[in-house]
A and B are shown apart, each in its own frame.
Chain A
């Protein structure tokens, strides 16, 4: 290098070894101060105290065999998964399919198709995702009704009053989520409309349904709705619950979407206006894709809340997964094993909600073209 050069470029060096590696990590994160060290030790002790006994109960000493409570009663130190095994069909598919084992293929096929559609949708590289999604939102509900409800192709009808368990939870949440999103988007756009009447209608709708507890809406749907129809018209209970949930959920979704809309810079709509794009073109191509991306966390948050709130349908006498577990564990055969029932229901709820949550995080990362997250 020239000695007279004023600027000398220094080579890059690796960071000092005390700042990288496992020991450095442990020191920095677990034992950085006396208080932190004590807290770390305390928590390890608590884990040691409670986790092994739980696994002993839930797995190592648990009862899996047999088909009645005698085995569980003989070994009280372990969980009674025999109960879940025996009542599995009832917990997942409700009373009709539990009492008609020859029909159980119907919900199994219906839910399997859902999973088969979902897997390619979640995998990033799938081609023609758009068509899969459209199929899921339009044709799939018809398949589901044909299979699960029946009435055509010689499939006997399963009365919705006998729907229950996870199948009911799934049906309520699916309808709630799929209908609430488009309605919510329209409402959110309406709330930001420059037309006063549309704005007023949207605000009224959102504030009314958001201000009413879901349990009240379900109760009203069950008790009040029939009063508005002539006495001969019988409105299906499950459909009423679906309507109630959709009305409620769309108000929440609307607010989540509005949050995203407000975060979009005014320059975006100005730039699209300057290109001569109309209202719907601006929203469909420019504003909504960005707004929805921002509101993914809060939209999914409302979806998760809805998924769990479906349990409230017990107020109108429908037995979803949670209430079905409760009912089953209070039957004469299995009285006293409600912890197992709740754990089972809790686990399924958790698995579904965790799935939604991690997919939303994945989606956020994928759609992040601006490098906001990381």
Chain B
């Protein structure tokens, strides 16, 4: 399946889904975190996933690059199904970028090395090529002058932008964001969101778990609301915010919008 699907990648239709999740179920021990999740993500689509904490939204996107293992159902990313096959997993992971709440930069490497390590060792690029691309992307996230510094010397907002650049250096087809602004000071949230908006405008497929409803309103093609491991409601942002269908969604929106 691997080699055949790899060659198919390029010929695939533009509207075809890049991620297909079918009847996904996951348990932590006896706790049922994800229940019968069905989700298709099309190329260049931007999806914002929101919901109360413990609703399974982070777990869902962590299943997509198998940081979490699901027990039932299937996840197909770009034509490759996620199974126990380590090679396939690493292939999918290198095509799916992820940005974490706590940045998870490598503190012992400089900003530039953070960005070039995986391109050099996973993508087998030359150091020169990797450096060049990293500098280009660091310029895009507006911190090329910090390239030689260590992550510990940067502010939270700068660190998160490095993390975005690091993920982009792998030239991913999809970007996953797991509460990228939740650990930031209010003054720094804006700079990270701006970077994400620019990325969205460049046509990247994005799945974003966030509480930033302004971002959702502005960027998302679709907003998904999750609660207790299920997708409660999904709609385009205009209808989602103005005409929520379920009472659960109404309650959630009233709680996060009116404070």
CB of B158 to closest CB in A, whole Å? 15
In contact, A371 and B98 (Cβ under 8 angstroms): no
Is there contact, CB below 8 Å, between A277 and B104?
no
A204 CB-CB contact with B under 8 Å: no
Which of A268, A275, A289 contacts B118, CB < 8 Å? A275
What residue of chain A has the Cβ atom nearest to residue B106's Cβ?
A286
B-contact 0/1 string along A273-285, CB 8 Å cutoff: 1111110010001
Partner of A275, one of B91, B93, B152: B93
Interface: B121 (CB within 8 A): yes
- Confirm or deny: B170 has a beta carbon within 8 angstroms of a beta carbon on chain A: yes
Query: Is the beta-carbon distance between B91 and A270 smaller than 8 angstroms?
Result: no
**Alpha-carbon separation in the docked complex, A293 to B105 (Å):** 17
B249 lies within 8 A of chain A by Cβ = no
Interface residues of B in 164-203 (CB under 8 A from A): 166-167, 170
Contacting pair A371 B152 (CB below 8 A): yes
Q: Considering only CB atoms, which chain A residue lies closest to B117 in the complex?
A: A285
Whether B229 sits at the interface, judged by CB under 8 Å, is no
Residues of A contacting B156 with CB < 8 Å? none
The answer for the CA separation of A293 and B163 in the assembled complex, in Å, is: 23
Q: Quick check: is B107 within 8 A (CB to CB) of the other chain? A: yes
State the CA gap A216–B86 with chains docked (Å): 44
In the assembled complex, how far is the CB of residue A195 from the closest CB belonging to chain B, in whole angstroms?
A: 12
On whether the beta carbons of A274 and B67 are closer than 8 Å, the reply is yes
How many contacts between A and B, using CB within 8 angstroms?
A: 73
Tell me, in angstroms, the Cα distance from A32 to B19 when the chains sit together.
70
User: Is the Cβ of B104 less than 8 Å from the Cβ of A267?
Assistant: yes
A5: Cβ under 8 A from any B Cβ: no
- From known contacts A267-B102, A371-B152, infer whether A276 and B118 are also in contact, taking CB-CB under 8 Å: yes
B107 touches A273 (CB 8 A): no
Cα distance, A293 to B161, chains bound together (Å): 27
Say yes or no: is B160 at the interface (Cβ < 8 Å to chain A).
no
Query: What separation, in Å, do the CA atoms of A371 and B152 have in the docked complex?
Result: 8
Residues of A in contact with B, size category:
20 to 34
Of all chain A residues, the one with the shortest Cβ separation from B96 is: A274
A34 within 8 A of B: no
Query: Could you mark each residue 157-177 of chain A with 1 if its beta carbon is under 8 Å from any beta carbon of chain B, else 0?
Result: 000000000000000000000
Asked if A367 CB lies within 8 Å of chain B CBs, one says yes
Interface size class on chain B is: 20 to 34
Report if A103 contacts B (CB, 8 A).
no
| Chain A residues in 8 Å Cβ range of B155 | none
The contact of A271 among B90, B92, B105, B152, by CB within 8 Å, is B105
Q: Is B150 an interface residue (CB 8 A)?
A: yes
Say yes or no: A277 contacts B152, CB within 8 Å.
no
Known: A281-B121, A281-B122. A275 touches B105 (CB 8 A): no
Instruction: Determine whether A138 belongs to the interface, using a CB cutoff of 8 Å to chain B.
Output: no
Judge whether A370 is part of the interface by a CB distance below 8 angstroms.
yes
B90 touches A278 (CB 8 A): yes
Contact A276 B104, beta carbon cutoff 8 Å = no
B107: nearest chain-A partner, CB-CB: A370
In the docked arrangement, what's the CA distance between A289 and B104, Å? 15
B102 CB to nearest A CB, Å:
6
Q: Report how far A199 CA is from B74 CA in the complex, Å.
A: 30
From A270, A278, A370, give the contact of B104 (CB < 8 A): A270
B97 CB within 8 Å of chain A: yes
Residues of A within 8 A of B152 (CB): 369-371
User: Cβ of B122 and Cβ of A275 under 8 Å apart?
Assistant: yes
The residue of chain A having its C-beta at the shortest distance from the C-beta of B86 within the complex is A278
Q: Could you say which residues of chain B place their CB within 8 Å of the CB of A367?
A: 108
* In contact, A290 and B170 (Cβ under 8 angstroms): no
* A274 with B108, Cβ < 8 A, contacts A285-B117, A285-B121, A370-B152 known: no
Task: Say whether, besides A285-B117, A369-B150, A371-B152, A277 and B108 are in contact (CB < 8 Å).
Answer: no
Cβ-based interface call for B94 (8 A)? yes
Residues on the B chain within 8 Å of A272, using CB: 106, 118
A271 to B114 CA separation, bound complex (whole angstroms): 11
Q: Which of A243-302 contact B (CB under 8 A)?
A: 265, 267-268, 270-278, 281, 285-286, 289-290, 293
* Selected contact of A277 from candidates B91, B95, B118, B167, CB within 8 Å: B118
- Asked if A276 and B170 sit within 8 Å, CB to CB, the answer is yes
Residues of B near A277 (CB, < 8 A) are: 90, 117-118, 121-122
Chain A residues with CB below 8 A from B163, complex form? 271
Partner of B107, one of A270, A285, A369: A369
**Distance between Cα atoms of A369 and B150 in the complex (Å):** 7
6 interchain residue pairs of minimum CB distance: A276-B94, A271-B104, A267-B104, A275-B118, A274-B98, A276-B93
- Apart from A274-B167, A276-B90, A286-B106, 12 more pairs, CB < 8 Å: A270-B67, A271-B106, A274-B93, A275-B122, A276-B93, A276-B95, A276-B118, A277-B121, A289-B108, A369-B107, A369-B108, A369-B150
A residues touching B (Cβ–Cβ < 8 Å)?
A: 265, 267-268, 270-278, 281, 285-286, 289-290, 293, 367, 369-371
Q: List 24 A-B contacts (CB under 8 A).
A: A265-B104, A267-B100, A270-B104, A271-B98, A271-B100, A271-B105, A271-B106, A271-B163, A272-B106, A273-B65, A274-B93, A274-B98, A274-B100, A275-B167, A275-B170, A276-B93, A277-B118, A277-B122, A290-B108, A293-B108, A367-B108, A369-B107, A370-B107, A370-B152
B interface list, Cβ under 8 A from A = 65, 67, 86, 90-98, 100, 102, 104-108, 117-118, 121-122, 150, 152, 163, 166-167, 170
